[in-house]
Amino acid sequence: MKRETSFGNMLKGIDFVQNVAAYAEGAQHHPVITIDHTAVSIKWTTVDEGKLTQKDIDAAQACNQFFEN
């Protein structure tokens, strides 16, 4: 599950990534994060199971909330 989004500037993107990282640490479920200037890509998958799981869906929903706030 992947989300790509752009922000008005790099610092706003970094703020978003910090929120995602804090969530990931708490959930012990870590995404692949790519930052390219103002663009951020977050990819969730459960590597141990080789597929998407409820953990990925929950994490993606958390990312949506971080983006909206």
| Residues whose CB is less than 8 angstroms from the CB of residue 52 and which lie 6 or more positions away in sequence, other chains included | 1, 44, 45, 46
69 residues of the chain, pLDDT tens digit each: 999 999 999 999 999 999 999 999 999 999 999 999 999 999 999 999 989 999 999 999 999 999 887
pLDDT number for residue 52: 93
**What pLDDT score does 69 carry?**
76
What pTM was computed for the model? 0.89
Domains of the chain: 2-68 (3.30.1360.20)
Tell me what pLDDT residue 50 has. Answer: 87
